[in-house]
Structure 1
């Protein structure tokens, strides 16, 4: 009995510091964030200051007793934070980011990694500290930027779309950096082969997890939809998150990577928004603990000692990221105004920077002074972000006055020419599709073979018949993917066009032969794992003949698998069916949405009576009404409550429209496959010399001509009597299918 009481007393003794420390953290955080909410500052800064007050370097308040417990809570916080970032990420968004955001982010990341490393070396830091500093400075803060955009009301402006796209690219690059930095830290050397192996390993598992996750997880959620209350859905989603954390750790990656991957998989399901809503309180709790734990590491003595490095790195962050992001946007073909706005919006560091700094500390490869320096730089750049965004327009106006006219015209000309649509050749489409086919199915086949040979085979203790049974079962499992890898046609339209044009016949045969050889190699690789080389070779020959004789069943089975994957992948998009944001460079015009409230004075009026184009200069590209969309509405179309208008205009025109309809909320649309905004370079003789009315472009595209560029001059909303000339760049909003049928840029 006494032993039981003693055990209970020990348990309560161990429990007490955990509860008291968590209570101290949350109480301090609550006071800090209430204060920061009152003064309208980012809550992240409140958490950092709360951590400093609860930490060991501030003695006026009670301090945390057991730092190890806080570290465990903080690790959970990182996992939940990365999971929710994954929910907002979505691989489909990455594919839709486009060249502008990709180039902008890439130039900024490469520049800041180099500048950060150079700055570290200049200050006499070690190579590892310098490498981590470069990686830390290359990441911007999604949380801080979103908050600043909301407060300043610029979320619907054109440059905001570029910024959001760049942040998506930065998220995936940050994950890659974490893997590479872990490899460098463990090996303590910069071996090119080790880095290549790490990248290949990451790509292998990313493809495997993503394809497998999209195939199974949406299906699981749909099958169990009647059982998924808020409580069960929260438990299931967190269970899936932690399952992927375990798999990532077993594969040699960080737990944060697994959480991010699972979040990005769930982001493709129809339950994503509901899960994101349910997980938010959990994220807020553990995220607060994480940022408070970061603040606990702030040592005032260290900051005083390293005051100059803090100043240098802060200036490098603000000006380096501004200049590099601006240059990246210019290279991608954006006008000077949007480029400057983009650059000055990305001039800070945030969440991923803390996570990368935490990785360095966890691995024990970075110096103790690096973390508090990064926290100080983040705090300063967080304060400056709203002011940088506000000053972007004055900075642009100043640049226009300072820079030579020749330079400004050169930027405009480059921006204009870079937006001209360039067709991708059929050969490139065929090769690209073949490479994707080979990579994805090779990953799936290798994963199944390794599962059989390294997990199932050791269980049978060398039994020959068991080997035959496992090898046969594995062959049956990989057979559909072998068919897709070796025999299934890809890019069928491009391939038929190439055959009709009698082009690239020999290269096409070579590509198809390579695919077949890959299939034969994987069969041999599997059989060699179970049998001797001679038996494996004979079995390969027999299997190939059998395989070629029964392609129909394999084809049908594979198509069922592919159909399930595609359906799961597009479920969320099909359910939402919202329009995408399209850019109209080199003008400021872009597409955004407005929802019509019942009490607005424009309700019930036809479009021709409102005269929005004449009064404000905006065009209505589409009206979404309930479950259907009216593309390019006629002038007699009336507006009804809860209609969603898809508006094309410049930032200033959209602001005027917002005032006109008394609409306070501007949102950026997500995606739509019907109404699109495209530009064409006019070379077709059938249209040259005709007016816009005579060309019947409206009737042929079910759309509107919203802009023409001619010899560097731009005409927004041209009248119907304007005559079309050769080499005009014509911008049309209209039906996607119809616009794909017209040929303005060919004779």
Structure 2
């Protein structure tokens, strides 16, 4: 009889226990993650009632693979564009909350008498909320269409990115065993550099490769290629000194910008579920329930710190970012739990052998406690808000409303801000690419050429030639390309004050180009040759070949931008960027069921504005997007309506749609709700809404005007824009920016 390897026996135990416990937790309507952890406790070495896993080291390797695929899946859902789209509100709130929780966690650890490293890891563990648990809770409580949900999802995006940074920083601190500020700064700059290089190169190369191979890609080959790219990035990132989890996350975020992302996500789901189950079971295997009993006091204390600390800090962060009190409290009380990333951070401490044995089971126990309390906290948010609103003095309420309104107003950007932004983008991006090429050629290509081709000075010459050939388009964009925007021309026309600084900016670009070329050549030749060659290249060669280099750079830029936006081309991606406004208006999407009673009727006949107070800002129909639809537009099956209204209005409106379909979702559309201030630069000052043609020019609808402290909701088209007005406009965000 053939011998069955111990690994197969252990996997049978793991998956069998996981299957039973997750079925039980499904019946109890509890998160499956807790079921996996319980399965790990039952088959782990600390619980002898059931058969026990013996080959723990091999299972840990499988668990490491599970972390890789979990982060890869998270990256597929993340995308760098989504990070840009979450907006300042989510960014400010998320960064404020994470920073405050890091300090609160560190302070709690010190209060308990823990070591500095245990306290630091505790701060990282309690700083990140659980996306999985929140999404499940929102679905069960039917609050995904409420206004605060969009802010919660935006904060979760920020937390995911910060968690990746924490993994890198905590690894650095664990290795150095000291809080060296300069070393941390170096690590952050190194991380930012490599992230930028990987993102730019990945977006330029990988979508192009997949698109050109499209006719040869079957589901099987696409899955193999995706996993291969993930593991290849893991190898590259670990070689650069970062964690494997970071590499998986980066490759996932790159693939998320391709047209194949939905298919990759679908095919990766079973793989991610399998290895994710092994990871979470391994989390439970490391728990010693005797240690949980011993540390019951700290567990309850830390759980209280998570619940109260996150409620308070997220609420404060949301208020600082300009959110009304109600949405701030609802957001804060929704994020009062820890989850997957907390396990990964705790595992990191164990793997690096820098944290105490008790920290890991404490983190898991706190996660379990806060997971159970999450639905109750979300339900309590509105009553708590109503009670606080009663307690607040009238002056405070007025201040919060005024502050919320003011922070969301679009004001005109100064010319200098526009110019500096353009210069910064050009300089930073091209410098990163050039430095990446220099490092690649000098550290890798030189050795290959000298060992495989020529071993004398010709090897340096060939390396320099290849490096400069790759760098030239980006050197041209960095040092020679003309930046002649409207803001630049406006500043240049003012000879007295602005020409000197503008000339200095241009000279700085040229000097930076010379320094970069000199840096490359100095590693291959003498300093004198490097200096002279750099000046000749920037001062003579680039201007002589400007036209050809411009064409090359434009081709590269177009290809990159096409790859970055290709996913949105076929279906006009669906938008939502909720902007929180004083009267609680926001955007929600509803998909029309084929059985709906409103099909075939026009917007005029349906009279949504008159009946429910809502406005239809956009209709998506297949690959078509109808912005600011007119009254004669009909409603058809499978249309997706982007509707503007308050929570109360949308709740009433939902009764028209919800009984006929249950799939309405909240996403972030290209149509958004913005607030503009009317001043002397406003192009429609003194004109009526009808005369301004603002609907046609912005593909938007004016849904409100605030004038002298009074609000005009759904203003008449004859209303004239006056100086000092605040306008609420629902429209295509890029078109709205064109009139700022």
Normalised by the shorter chain, which TM-score bucket? over 0.9
What secondary structure does 1:575 align onto? coil
SS in 2 for 1:623: strand
Which secondary structure does the structure 2 equivalent of 1:20 belong to? Answer: helix
Q: 1:568 to 1:722 in 2, by over 3 A?
A: closer
Secondary structure of the residue that 2:569 maps to in structure 1? Answer: helix
Per the alignment, residue 549 of structure 2 pairs with 554
Whether the 8 Å contact between 1:413 and 1:712 is mirrored in structure 2 is no
| Matched residue, 2:614 | 618
1:148 maps to 2:137? yes
1:737 Cα deviation from its structure 2 partner: 6.7
Q: Deviations over 1:367-418 (max 9, x none)?
A: 0000000000000111111111111111111111122222111111110111
Structure 2 residue 469 is the aligned partner of structure 1 residue 469: no
CA contact (8 A) 2:64 2:279 kept: yes
Give the aligned CA root-mean-square deviation in angstroms: 2.1
Q: Is 1:670 aligned to 2:668, yes or no? A: yes
Distance 2:368 2:499 in 1: 60
Which position in structure 1 is the counterpart of 2:589?
Answer: 593
The partner residue of 1:483 within 446, 471, 476 is 476
Q: d(CA) in 1 for partners of 2:110 and 2:423?
A: 44
2:712 matches 1:708: no
**Aligned mates of 2:703, 2:316 — CA distance in 1:** 28
Note if contact 1:269-1:569 (Cα within 8 Å) is conserved in structure 2. yes
Alignment partner of 1:576 out of 571, 574, 577? 571
Q: Determine the C-alpha separation between the residues in 2 that align with 1:690 and 1:68.
A: 74
What residue number does 2:149 align with?
A: 160
User: Aligned pair in 2 of structure 1 residues 723, 445: CA closer, same or farther (>3 Å)?
Assistant: closer
Q: For 2:23 and 2:86, how far apart are their aligned partners in 1?
A: 36
Task: Report how far residue 420 of structure 1 moved.
Answer: 1.1
Flag the 1:513–1:38 CA change in 2: closer, same or farther, 3 A. same
Return 5+ residue gaps in structure 2 as ranges. none
Cα offset, 1:225, TM superposition: 0.6
Question: Deviation of residue 119 (structure 1)?
Answer: 0.4
Mapping 1:618-637, distance limit 5 Å = 618-637=614-633
SS of the residue aligned with 2:575?
A: coil
Give the 3 Å change call, closer, same or farther, for CA 30–128 of structure 1 in structure 2. Answer: same
Q: Which moved more, 1:338-347 or 1:150-159?
A: 150-159
> Equivalent residue for 2:634?
638
1:581-605 CA deviation, whole Å, 9 max, x = no partner? 2425122211121121221111111
Equivalent position SS for 1:245: helix
Q: Tell me, yes or no, if structure 1 residue 732 matches structure 2 residue 729.
A: yes
For 1:88 and 1:687, how far apart are their aligned partners in 2? 40
Q: What do the CA deviations read for 1:314-371 (whole angstroms, capped 9, x no partner)? A: 0000010010000000000000010011101111111111111111111100000000
2:411–2:676 contact (8 Å) kept in structure 1? no
- CA shift, 1:741, in A, is 5.8
Q: CA deviation at 1:101?
A: 0.2
Between the aligned partners of 1:506 and 1:249, the Cα distance in structure 2 is 46
Q: Using a 3 Å threshold, how does the CA distance of structure 1 residues 299 and 530 change in structure 2: closer, same or farther? A: same
**Residue 658 (structure 1) aligned with residue 647 (structure 2):** no
Assess, with a 3 A threshold, how the Cα gap between structure 1 residues 612 and 315 changes in structure 2: closer, same or farther. Answer: same
Q: Distance in 2 between matches of 1:302 and 1:166?
A: 33
Relative distance call for 1:490 and 1:272 in structure 2 (3 A) is farther
Does the CA-based 8 Å contact 1:683-1:727 persist in structure 2? yes
Aligned to 1:272: 261
1:93 aligns with 2:93: no
Match of 1:3 in 2: none
Determine the structure 2 residue equivalent to 1:531.
Answer: 525
Q: Give the Cα–Cα distance (whole angstroms) in 2 for the partners of residues 67 and 451 of structure 1.
A: 39
Is 1:566 matched with 2:555? no
Q: Is the 8 A contact 2:704 2:728 kept in 1?
A: yes
- Give distance in 2, aligned partners of 1:315 and 1:741: 48
Looking at structure 2, the residues matched to 741 and 208 of structure 1 have their Cα atoms a distance apart, in angstroms, of 31
Normalized against structure 1, the TM-score is what? 0.94
Deviation at 1:493, TM superposition (A): 3.2
Whether the 8 Å contact between 1:705 and 1:718 is mirrored in structure 2 is yes
**1:505 counterpart residue number:** 499
SS of the aligned residue for 2:676 comes to strand
The answer as to 2:129 corresponding to 1:129 is no
SS in 2 for 1:285: helix
1:102 aligns to what?
A: 91
Shift in CA distance, 716/35, structure 1 to aligned 2, threshold 3 Å:
farther
Structure 1 contact 577–671 (Cα < 8 Å) conserved: no
Instruction: Provide the aligned length of Structure 1 versus Structure 2.
Output: 730
Report the 3-state secondary structure (helix = DSSP H, G, I; strand = E; otherwise coil) of the residue aligned with 2:161.
helix
Deviation of 1:497 (Å): 2.9
Q: Is the 8 A contact 2:570 2:623 kept in 1?
A: no
Are 2:282 and 1:284 aligned? no
Separation (CA, whole Å) in 2 of partners of 1:700 and 1:562: 28
1:318-357 mapped onto 2 (5 Å cutoff)? 318-357=307-346
Residue 706 of structure 2 aligns to a residue whose secondary structure is strand
Q: CA deviation at 1:639?
A: 1.2
Map 1:159-238 to 2 at 5 A.
159-238=148-227
Deviation per CA, 1:614-658: give whole Å up to 9, x if none. Answer: 111111112222322222222222211122211111122222212
Instruction: State the 1:64 CA deviation.
Output: 0.6
In structure 2, how many angstroms separate the alpha carbons of the residues matched to 1:686 and 1:432?
23
Tell me the CA shift for residue 676 of structure 1. Answer: 4.1
CA 1:510–1:318 in 2, change beyond 3 Å: closer, same or farther? same
Compared with structure 1, are the counterparts of its residues 491 and 118 closer, same or farther at alpha carbon in structure 2 (3 Å cutoff)? farther
Is 2:650 the partner of 1:649? no
**Distance of aligned partners of 1:187 and 1:734 in 2 relative to their CA distance in 1, 3 Å threshold:** closer
Report the secondary structure of 2:409's partner residue: coil
Q: Does 2:375 correspond to 1:378?
A: no
Contact 1:21 1:64 in 2 (8 A): yes
Residues 587, 650 of structure 1: 8 Å contact kept: yes
C-alpha displacement of 1:715: 4.3
Q: Does the CA-based 8 Å contact 1:162-1:342 persist in structure 2?
A: yes
8 A contact 1:606–1:635 mirrored in 2:
yes
Q: Partners of 1:458 and 1:701 in 2: how far apart?
A: 56
Q: Which residue of 1 aligns with 2:447?
A: 458
Deviations 1:162-186 (A, max 9, x none): 1111111111111111111111110
Quick one: distance in 1 between partners of 2:517 and 2:300?
Answer: 60
- Of 129-138 and 445-454, deviating more is 445-454
Residues 1:434 and 2:430 are matched in the alignment: no
> For the residues of structure 2 that align with 1:127 and 1:411, how far apart are their CA atoms?
39
Q: Give the 5 Å matches for 1:240-251.
A: 240-251=229-240
Q: Check conservation: 1:688, 1:724, Cα contact below 8 A.
A: yes
